Amino acid sequence: MAVDETDVVRVNSVQSRFYSPDNVVLLQSMLTTLADLDFAYEQERERVSRSTEDVNLRARMLQKLRDHHRERREPYIRHLTVLQERTMPQFSAAERAGRQRGNSQ
């Protein structure tokens, strides 16, 4: 679930081609927020995993933590999806055709 450097580099390498400057700032902000949420989740998950010997309690706590993490990420994921959908019409027909050819090989 965590956003790693490879994801950020990949985004940075294509963002200038597909996103307006305002959208680039928004995209970077959302990715940073998602990375922060993922980091906090991983830290808390490790803490909970070490905190109790009771396997059933630990499992319930981890499930609750996963659910909460998913809920916190959801609005950012939705917003990223909307941003992507708004950006897609900006692709030229040739770029779309090239991507489709590359995916079918």
Distance CA 24, CA 13 (A): 11
96 vs 69, higher pLDDT: 69
11 vs 100, higher pLDDT: 100
Average pLDDT, the chain: 79
39 vs 12, higher pLDDT: 39
DSSP state of 88: G
The answer to whether 19 touches 87, Cβ cutoff 8 Å, is yes
* Res 22: pLDDT: 77
Mean pLDDT across 3-9: 54
* Res 15: pLDDT: 45
Instruction: Say what percent of the chain tops pLDDT 70.
Output: 65
- For 86, half-sphere exposure in the C-beta direction (CA atoms, 13 angstrom radius) is 12
Handedness of CA 40, 42, 48, 50 (dihedral sign): negative
The 3-state DSSP class for residue 32 equals: helix
Please say if the pLDDT value at position 17 is more than 70. Answer: no
Distances (CA, A) of 54 to 16, 57, 64, 74, 75: 51, 5, 15, 30, 33
Mean pLDDT across 50-63: 94
Domain boundaries, the chain: 20-100
